[in-house]
Amino acid sequence: MFVPEGLYTKGCEARYQTKRLGVKHIMVSEGHPRYKSLTLRNKLVDGYEKGITSAHGLIAHGRGEAFDYLLGEQTSENALGATNVACAYLLTAHHPILSVNGNTAALASEEIAEFCAITDIPVEVNLFHRSAERVKRIADHLRSYGVANVLTGFDIIKLDHIASDRAKVDKQGIFKADVVFAPLEDGDRAQALTQLGKVVLTVDLNPLSRTAVTSTVTIVDEVTRAMKNLSGFAKHVEGQSDQDGLDTLKASFNNVQNLKASYVVMQERLRSLAL
Ligand code: PTJ
């Protein structure tokens, strides 16, 4: 790998394997134009090495990155609006739950811990590539960041119409929940949960995905940015007992319009670059 001299003096550490499978450490400067993106990649590689993220999760991240380029790697006004609506659903739910997978845990444990501390909402580890060992590692990782209430599938039940192990849910968590926040979800489960009458909130950089299309609220944004914004809104309304205001926010939202608006954000960015 070519490393321009003097550039990588401080910032995040990036590791890469040499030809002989030794590991080299380099520093990526905070001033590097891809600094944020490289930091997220590092978190995923760390997650992979710790048995938190699956190898498939690394590929899924690449797809997300491609869409984030089209968004200009920033939260659109539209995505922020959808985030506030998702938060309104979570704050007014009887049994809300955050469903966390290997990618989300590796990328956003700190942000999840912050949001859970504000709202007291529990987390359930729910995986596409499920194994008892991975579930435990992810739960321990979340706890190490201060997430207090993590369900790991102690009391499991299988949901119908889901081919993958994502069907395995905790009776006290996703099964009982009326509102499920499930970032980086797969289409089958988003659809199945919606059919069970649950409100499904997702974060997906790809507004064309089946998850994006079948969820109740789709936040078309990068998951760490979205989690920070969720906490921001939760803090903003904390202590207010304005249930009506939150209900009005939910009622004003239409996910089809929301997705169309995110296509426009991407289209306009490409158009401006093409001028
Ligand atoms: O940890 P597991 O076993 O549960 O597996 C997790 C993955 C993500 C591998 C699994 O759920 C999967 O295969 O997901 P998909 O079907 O690839 O969908 C993931 C979606 O998330 C894609 O539409 C990506 O564009 C999007 N995405 C990827 N990275 C991010 C993202 N969206 C928001 N923020 C990201 N950082």
3-class state of residue 206 by DSSP = coil
**Are residues 255 and 180 part of one domain?**
yes
Ligand 1 atom closest to residue 184's alpha carbon, by position in its atom list: 21
Structure tokens at 141: 């990782």
Instruction: Kindly state if the Cβ of 12 falls inside 6 Å of ligand 1.
Output: no
Can you give the pLDDT of all 275 residues of the chain as single tens digits?
333 333 334 456 556 555 555 666 667 778 888 889 999 999 999 999 999 999 999 999 999 999 999 999 999 999 999 999 999 999 999 999 999 999 999 999 999 999 999 999 999 999 999 999 999 999 999 999 999 999 987 789 999 888 888 999 999 999 999 999 999 998 888 999 999 999 999 999 999 999 999 999 999 999 999 999 999 999 999 878 778 899 999 999 999 999 999 999 999 999 999 99
**Are residues 101 and 155 part of one domain?**
yes
d(C-alpha 160, C-alpha 193), whole Å: 10
Does residue 39 belong to any structural domain of this protein?
A: no
What's the pLDDT score for residue 4?
36
Whether residue 201 contacts residue 86, with contact meaning beta carbons closer than 8 Å, is answered with yes
Domain extent at residue 197: 77-266
Does residue 57 belong to any structural domain of this protein?
A: no
Instruction: Kindly state if the Cβ of 108 falls inside 6 Å of ligand 1.
Output: no
What's the pLDDT score for residue 7?
37
Does residue 212 belong to any structural domain of this protein?
A: yes
Name which of 135, 119, 134, 203 is nearest 169 in CA terms.
135
User: CA torsion angle for 131, 129, 37, 39 (degrees, to 10)?
Assistant: 10
Does residue 66 belong to any structural domain of this protein?
A: no
What's the pLDDT score for residue 24?
63
Does residue 190 belong to any structural domain of this protein?
A: yes
**Are residues 253 and 141 part of one domain?**
yes
**Are residues 204 and 138 part of one domain?**
yes
**Are residues 224 and 93 part of one domain?**
yes
CATH number, domain containing residue 113: 3.40.50.12640
**DSSP for 81-136?**
HHHHHHHHHHHH-SSEEEEE-HHHHHHHHHHHHHHHHHH---EEE--SS--HHHHH
Does residue 143 belong to any structural domain of this protein?
A: yes
Instruction: Kindly state if the Cβ of 115 falls inside 6 Å of ligand 1.
Output: no
Does residue 163 belong to any structural domain of this protein?
A: yes
**Are residues 83 and 21 part of one domain?**
no
Q: Dihedral of CA 80/41/56/173: which sign? A: negative
d(C-alpha 154, C-alpha 31), whole Å: 45
Whether residue 189 contacts residue 162, with contact meaning beta carbons closer than 8 Å, is answered with yes
What's the pLDDT score for residue 186?
84
Look at phi and psi of residue 9 and say left if phi exceeds 0, alpha if psi is from -120 to 50, else beta: alpha
**Are residues 84 and 13 part of one domain?**
no
3-class state of residue 195 by DSSP = helix
Phi then psi for residue 123, to 5 deg, are: -115, 140
What's the pLDDT score for residue 9?
41
Instruction: Kindly state if the Cβ of 153 falls inside 6 Å of ligand 1.
Output: no
**Are residues 224 and 91 part of one domain?**
yes
Ligand 1 atom closest to residue 222's alpha carbon, by position in its atom list: 34
Does residue 196 belong to any structural domain of this protein?
A: yes
Q: How many CA atoms lie within 13 A of 7 on its CB side?
A: 11
Direct distance between the N- and C-terminal alpha carbons of the chain, in angstroms, rounded to an integer: 34
Name which of 172, 207, 182, 175 is nearest 112 in CA terms.
182
How many structural domains is the chain composed of? 2
**Are residues 139 and 14 part of one domain?**
no
